[in-house]
Amino acid sequence: DSGVTQTPKHLITATGQRVTLRCSPRSGDLSVYWYQQSLDQGLQFLIQYYNGEERAKGNILERFSAQQFPDLHSELNLSSLELGDSALYFCASSADGTGGTEAFFGQGTRLTVV
């Protein structure tokens, strides 16, 4: 158990809908990262938050957004969903704000868009 908690584990929704994925980082970790994993693209970095503020952006679509709350949990919002958004979404956390320290991953949310 990595100590990172993601909910829900599975989500099935229709095209055009909006969903919210939730992540609780390990106790004491200030950074939260979101990744998308699909069969053809592998693990892709989406966005990072550090202590409540956006720190870095990767390959995140404009239809996607995230935030980190004062209690350090984070939410990833996906809107106007398309079939191609079906993937595993992982949250990871690390102690500091640099990407050079080990990050610990949650078990992921499997999103299926139908």
Partner 1 sequence: EDQVTQSPEALRLQEGESSSLNCSYTVSGLRGLFWYRQDPGKGPEFLFTLYSAGEEKEKERLKATLTKKESFLHITAPKPEDSATYLCAFYSGGGADGLTFGKGTHLIIQP
Question: Binding residues for partner 1, per CB under 8 A?
Answer: 2, 4, 33, 35, 42-46, 48, 55-58, 90, 92, 97-108, 110
**What is the nearest approach in angstroms of partner 1 to the Cβ of residue 101?**
8
Residue 96 beta carbon to partner 1: minimum distance, rounded to whole angstroms: 10
Q: Measured from the CB of residue 65, what is the shortest distance to partner 1 in angstroms?
A: 16
Long-range (24+ apart) CB contacts under 8 A made by 95-104 are 95/28, 95/29, 95/30, 95/31, 96/30, 96/31, 97/30, 97/31, 97/48, 97/50, 97/51, 97/55, 99/33, 99/48, 99/56, 103/31, 103/33, 104/2, 104/3, 104/4, 104/26, 104/29
User: Which residue, 19 or 92, has its beta carbon nearer to partner 1?
Assistant: 92
